[in-house]
């Protein structure tokens, strides 16, 4: 395909199949963000375990990310993504049953399957990239998929509201899980039109270094700080917000839904221009900006507990996360040789999802034990660490620029 003629209308069929499937299958994540903590607070034997359903999903994703990638190397993207769809269907049906009978531990089991689903289906973006050729096409594809994420961000919470009382259950929301399960079935049907592009990768003869040598790179350390802080703070504040709004502040579920929707939209929308900003100003300045935006988030969160404070702080939380996580991801190719990419990426993702899980689990305990303000103050040391990483990266980039000028 000629780059000149490239447009959304001329994208390959595979890309559109994946875009539709991403909208259908990614709705479950924002749904769980909205109702996971609320159901957990109602069903858990201890209030401090209220966010355990969301945490179990995140831990499951972290655990199965590397196996999912390795499996897809052997069997191809299509079969691997179908495994993810089956896991999702099992998860949402189990969640439906758990809410029908009010069983907290069955709900935890359901979210484990939801996490397995994410580990596999997050690979759809790579399947879309493999369906096109040039960098310009890839940029268009990634922009399209980000827009799909925004659709999923709004549809998921809407299904949560629509299904709250659709089917009678002790704590509500049984119908919500059934509706999402229906979307997964539809995604499986649509994905049958995907044409496999997987090819055996050529053997890389370059001798890889040991992992301990790879992680000594300053770029790896900065990448880990950026991504891990981005996810830990985001997970901690995002998970606690709907619980705090509905259980402590007496704010309606509908208002909580809107806050979560604008938050997730703010996570995805900046991706349309974050890459351009990094190219123009450097990754260090974007990392530092994201860290300062996190400080702004804290100021809004500590300034009050009305809807305007929650919505403003979560918008900043989404934008800050975008800058930190994308910068961290973009730094990784500076760290590894081609023969080291899988173990380096796997280590990065394992640490990041681990921090995300810690933030999610800690959200319930901190909120119920110490309150909202303490939870926000806990973020400060992590944000300061990210600010330091941003300054460090700016210096490294300046040193690299001066070296290139002098050579």
Q: Write out pLDDT tens, residues 268-299.
A: 888 778 777 887 888 899 999 999 999 999 99
Displacement of CA 356 from its chain's centroid (Å): 9
Instruction: Indicate the residue among 134, 162, 196 that finishes a domain.
Output: 196
**pLDDT computed for residue 393 by the predictor:** 96
What does the pLDDT average to over 192-215?
71
Task: Please count the other Cβ atoms lying within 10 Å of the Cβ belonging to residue 124.
Answer: 24
Q: Are residues 234 and 382 in the same domain?
A: yes
Q: Write out pLDDT tens, residues 355-367.
A: 888 888 788 889 9
Q: Are residues 281 and 389 in the same domain?
A: yes
Q: Are residues 165 and 35 in the same domain?
A: yes
The helix (H) or strand (E) run that includes residue 394 is helix 372-406
Q: Are residues 340 and 260 in the same domain?
A: yes
Instruction: Indicate the residue among 174, 196, 218 that finishes a domain.
Output: 196
User: What are phi and psi for residue 250, nearest 5 degrees?
Assistant: 70, 25
The answer to whether residue 2 sits within a structural domain is no
What does the pLDDT average to over 233-241?
93
Q: Cβ distance 230 to 324 under 8 Å?
A: yes
Q: Write out pLDDT tens, residues 17-45.
A: 999 999 999 898 888 877 887 888 889 88
| Mean pLDDT, rounded, of the chain | 86
Whether pLDDT at 204 is above 70: no
Q: Are residues 136 and 215 in the same domain?
A: no
Looking at the 3D structure of the chain, how many domains does it have? 2
The answer to whether residue 35 sits within a structural domain is yes
Identify the weakest region by mean pLDDT among 102-111, 300-309, 348-357.
348-357
User: What is the distance between the alpha carbons of residues 279 and 285, in angstroms, rounded to a whole number?
Assistant: 11
Q: Cβ distance 158 to 175 under 8 Å?
A: no
**pLDDT computed for residue 9 by the predictor:** 61
**pLDDT computed for residue 268 by the predictor:** 82
Q: Which two tokens stand for residue 335?
A: 């760290």
Q: Cβ distance 41 to 49 under 8 Å?
A: no
**pLDDT computed for residue 390 by the predictor:** 97
Q: Are residues 220 and 73 in the same domain?
A: no
Q: Are residues 128 and 246 in the same domain?
A: no
User: What are phi and psi for residue 249, nearest 5 degrees?
Assistant: -105, -5
* 170 or 361: which leads in pLDDT: 170
The answer to whether residue 68 sits within a structural domain is yes
Q: Are residues 154 and 270 in the same domain?
A: no
The answer to whether residue 96 sits within a structural domain is yes
Q: Cβ distance 196 to 80 under 8 Å?
A: no
Q: Cβ distance 228 to 352 under 8 Å?
A: yes
What does the pLDDT average to over 2-27?
76
User: What is the distance between the alpha carbons of residues 179 and 28, in angstroms, rounded to a whole number?
Assistant: 10
Could you tell me the CA-to-CA distances from 86 to 83, 187, 361, 404 in Å, in that order? 5, 11, 26, 51
Q: Are residues 174 and 217 in the same domain?
A: no
Q: Residue 185 sits in a domain of what CATH number?
A: 1.20.1250.20
Q: Cβ distance 161 to 180 under 8 Å?
A: no
Q: Are residues 157 and 231 in the same domain?
A: no
Could you tell me the CA-to-CA distances from 222 to 134, 215, 226, 250 in Å, in that order? 29, 10, 6, 40
The answer to whether residue 233 sits within a structural domain is yes
Q: What is the pTM of this model?
A: 0.76
The helix (H) or strand (E) run that includes residue 334 is none
Instruction: Indicate the residue among 196, 218, 236 that finishes a domain.
Output: 196
What does the pLDDT average to over 52-81?
85
Supply the range of the domain harboring residue 184: 7-196
The answer to whether residue 204 sits within a structural domain is no
**pLDDT computed for residue 299 by the predictor:** 97
Q: What percent of the chain has pLDDT over 70?
A: 91
How many CA atoms does the CB half-sphere of 19 hold within 13 Å? 20
Q: What percent of the chain has pLDDT over 90?
A: 43
Cα–Cα–Cα angle for 243, 247, 249, rounded to 5 degrees: 100
Q: Cβ distance 32 to 57 under 8 Å?
A: yes
What does the pLDDT average to over 189-204?
70
Q: Are residues 60 and 105 in the same domain?
A: yes
Question: Residue 270 carries which DSSP code?
Answer: T
Q: Which two tokens stand for residue 333?
A: 């190719």
């Amino acid at each position: 395909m000629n780059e000149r003629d490239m447009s959304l209308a001329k994208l390959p069929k595979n890309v559109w199949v994946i875009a539709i499937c991403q909208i259908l299958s990614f709705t479950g994540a924002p749904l769980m963000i909205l109702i996971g903590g609320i159901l957990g607070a109602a069903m858990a034997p201890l209030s401090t375990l209220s966010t355990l359903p969301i945490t179990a999903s995140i831990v499951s994703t972290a655990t199965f990310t590397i196996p999912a990638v390795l499996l897809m190397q052997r069997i191809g993207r299509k079969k691997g993504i179908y495994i993810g769809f089956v896991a999702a269907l099992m998860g949402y049906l189990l969640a439906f049953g758990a809410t029908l009978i009010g069983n907290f531990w069955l709900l935890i089991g359901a979210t484990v399957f939801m996490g397995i689903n994410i580990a596999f289906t997050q690979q759809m973006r790579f399947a879309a990239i493999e369906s096109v050729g040039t960098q310009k096409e890839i940029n268009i594809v990634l922009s399209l998929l980000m827009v799909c994420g925004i659709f999923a961000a709004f549809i998921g919470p809407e299904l949560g509201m629509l299904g709250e009382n659709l089917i009678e259950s002790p704590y509500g929301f049984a119908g919500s899980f059934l509706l999402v399960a229906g979307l997964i079935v539809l995604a499986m049907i649509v994905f049958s039109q995907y044409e496999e592009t997987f090819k055996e990768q050529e053997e890389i003869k370059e001798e890889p270094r040991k992992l301990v040598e790879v992680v000594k790179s300053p770029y790896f350390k900065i990448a880990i700080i950026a991504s891990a802080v981005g996810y830990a703070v985001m997970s901690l504040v995002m998970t606690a917000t709907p619980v705090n709004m509905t259980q402590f502040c007496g704010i309606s579920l509908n208002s909580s839904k809107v806050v979560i929707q604008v938050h997730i939209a703010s996570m995805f929308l900046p991706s349309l221009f974050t890459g351009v900003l990094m190219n123009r100003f450097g990754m260090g300045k974007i990392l530092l900006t994201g860290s300062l935006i996190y400080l702004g988030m804290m100021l809004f969160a500590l300034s009050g507990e009305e809807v305007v404070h929650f919505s403003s702080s979560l918008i900043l939380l989404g934008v800050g996360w975008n800058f930190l996580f994308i910068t961290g991801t973009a730094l990784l190719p500076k760290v590894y040789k081609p023969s080291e990419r899988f173990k380096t990426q796997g280590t990065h993702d394992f640490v990041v999802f681990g921090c995300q899980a810690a933030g999610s689990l800690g959200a319930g305990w901190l909120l119920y034990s110490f309150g909202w303000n303490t939870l926000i103050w806990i973020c400060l040391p992590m944000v300061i660490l990210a600010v330091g990483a941003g300054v460090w990266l700016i210096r490294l980039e300046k040193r690299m620029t001066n070296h290139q000028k002098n050579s």
